[in-house]
């Protein structure tokens, strides 16, 4: 079990960590209850496509108890030598 803490340069550390783990498929799934613009949401972070030199991170929000997800941020990371 891992806890991911988000730090925003505008407001500092976000008070709610995303908690989860990496599955047998190598994908990390992390969740938190939070709010966005005054509305209750469920947050999901996915870490996938992990290699020694790259990975993908995705953020998604659910407004309906994880029935549907709106992916709103994707980052592909590449390690430089």
| pLDDT tens, residue by residue, 38-74 | 999 999 999 999 999 999 999 999 999 999 999 999 9
Q: Is the pLDDT of residue 7 over 90?
A: no
Q: Given this model, what pLDDT does residue 32 score? A: 95
Distance between CA atoms of residues 68 and 80, nearest Å: 35
The answer to whether the Cα torsion of 61, 70, 8, 49 is positive or negative is positive
Distance between CA atoms of residues 71 and 78, nearest Å: 21
Report the predicted TM-score, pTM, of the whole model to 2 decimal places.
0.86
- Mean pLDDT in residue range 2-13: 83
């Amino acid at each position: 079990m891992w806890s991911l803490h988000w730090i925003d340069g505008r407001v500092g550390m976000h008070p709610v960590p995303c908690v989860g783990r990496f599955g047998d498929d190598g994908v990390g799934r992390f969740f938190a209850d939070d709010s966005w613009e005054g509305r209750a949401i469920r947050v999901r972070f996915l870490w996938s496509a992990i290699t020694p030199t790259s990975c993908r991170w995705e953020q998604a929000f659910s407004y309906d108890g994880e029935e549907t997800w709106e992916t709103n941020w994707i980052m592909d990371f590449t390690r430089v030598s």
